[in-house]
Structure 1
Amino acid sequence: MPDSPLDALWTPTAVGDIALPHRLAMAPMTRNRSTPDGVPSELNAEYYAQRASHALVVTEGTQPSAEGQGYPLTPGIHTEAQIAGWRKVTEAVHAADGRIVIQLMHAGRIAHPGNTPHGGQPVAPSAIRPSGTIFTASGLQSMPRPRELTEAEIADTVQEFRAAARAAVEAGADGVEIHGASGYLVHQFLSTNANRRTDRYGGSVENRVRFAVEVAAAVADEIGAGRTGIRISPGNPYNDIAEDDPRELYAALARALAPLGLACLHVVQAEDEELLDILRGLWPTTLMVNRVGAELAVRAADIAEGRADVVTVGALALANPDLVERVRSRAPLNTPDPATFYGGDEAGYTDYPTLAS
């Protein structure tokens, strides 16, 4: 083991086809700063380029279709204008010697008609309204009851992920991450409260993992398994999600995904250390772990002790564009400002100071 857990961060590795110079990566974070049409802007390009020294930049959740949008001012990757906007972002990151993957996120039932260009009813595995509210242009609103997807629509949604992955690579991304966590559509299919289907997509564990596996298989087939990752959050109740059987569920999901040879599994770890060990044993390629809120030394210890290959950080990367330099030199860190996390302009987005400034 290295003299300090932090030393484990600085050895090279790879995520599938993407060579990484070290093991400290940037987690995906919704920032609500795209245009109303879901087009990434020059400001977005500046934000991501500032953070290009992270081993890998995983972007904010990006809707694969108009129907997949949940929140206002989030980016898409399904129109020519959106692809062109993302190309500005990827070119800026690559010019700064970085590596970037676009996270594909269909919000499912965590949505509101006022936040989407089509103003339609949200869709979900089952027609079950989630508890809680969602931010819209007219303030906080209750989320409406979603419409249950038909099997034909599920197949169409899988193809939307495929097309979005192709568009992401066209835009210059090094790969994509499928968002299977945090209560959004893929996670809704995995759950036992949002998914009450009685067909081949609901009920048993094998049925509930089917959608996630079909999406991953389609994306990997389109752009290559070495450019495809998936993010999960076992036991995470965010966005009104319940899982009655997380160990059985996620072990089954890992076993079903393993033959695809995906680049990585990105685990947002909750409290179940035994499940993390199970996934470590089952997963054949790179395992990325995000311990939300943990000290960086604790995260690095996952690498030093073999529980993870790469660790990702969210708020630390948000507030410290030069986090890698700061950690290497043991410099003090900026404090994140939660008041500026979502929406707005450059304040709390591109104006966090670097050591050089």
Structure 2
Amino acid sequence: MKIAVLRALQLGDMLCAVPALRALRAEYPAARITLIGLPWARKLAARFRRYVYDFMEFPGFPGLPERACDVAAVPRFFREARKRGFDLVLQMHGSGEIMNPLAVLAGGQRTAGFCRPGHYCPDPERYMEWRDEEHEVQRYLRLMAHLGVAPQGSALEFPLSGEDWSEWTGIGLERDSYAVVHPGAQLASRRWPPERFAQVADALAAEGLQIVLTGSAGEKPLVETVRQAMRSPALDLAGLTSLGGLAALVARARLVVANDTGISHIAAAVKAPSVIVASGSDPKRWAPLDRQLHRVLFHEIECRPCKHAACPIGHPCALGVSPEQVSREALSLVECVA
């Protein structure tokens, strides 16, 4: 059996789909499961070889924001998809207004996924109603159950390799001796102010934890702003870790403090305690399911989830969460998991 999973999204989105992939593999152990995703996800698919057999790069499409559409590559993509002869194409990208027709054009014998009432539904038997407030992990397990695929738990995963652990060893930190503070997020509307991260980092440092600042290479200026605002010394690893190295770093941390972004889901996958500030995001949909190990703080506001890359009204959802609140939760969690 050949199954395509269409989910051309970012890191956190992909990790939230792992429980569904796990269930799918358990139900169809001999199936050739192909992940159709963004270019960066090719390495992620290789990391999840136990569930994913192959990878196809999605070239983008007009109206989808995740990547600029490679117009010349679109016809080639659909020709290749049809050539592969999928038995089932799972539209696991979202609510389907754009993606459902694309799932059909991939040429599978059957498709399944989600759709909104009043919008195109390729197969009323295999497509389910999209619920905006449903948790992302539970959403795709619900789809699996609808298709007769038994769940295999809701826990996230992030397999770590020997190279990942070697990278962590090379940093020279001791297990549980440090806190990871990650102030970045892809969208400015999802970022808590850097000076507030600095205040929380100082509070953790005062309790004897070494502070490790992380981020992508593009987030180095943001991370430097946090470091400059701190009174305590910090190890700045922005742009210096691979994805696997970052996950290993998180796995051995005493605590992670971050925005509601990919690293929150890494922490959940490796079971690292975390305090997450959800600024413009929707906690009901994205917060880690284990609320004991992962504390999520947010300020309720009518415009959540935010539709803007940068807040146009002064970012009240972020400013409504104080550094004192985050510090209290962080110190409480450190004590609980000691």
- The verdict on a shared fold, with TM-score over 0.5 as the criterion, is no
- Structure-1-length-normalised TM-score: 0.28
Structure with more contact order per residue of length (Cα contacts < 8 Å, sep ≥ 6): 1
Normalization by structure 2: what TM-score? 0.29
Which structure has the larger Rg? Answer: 2
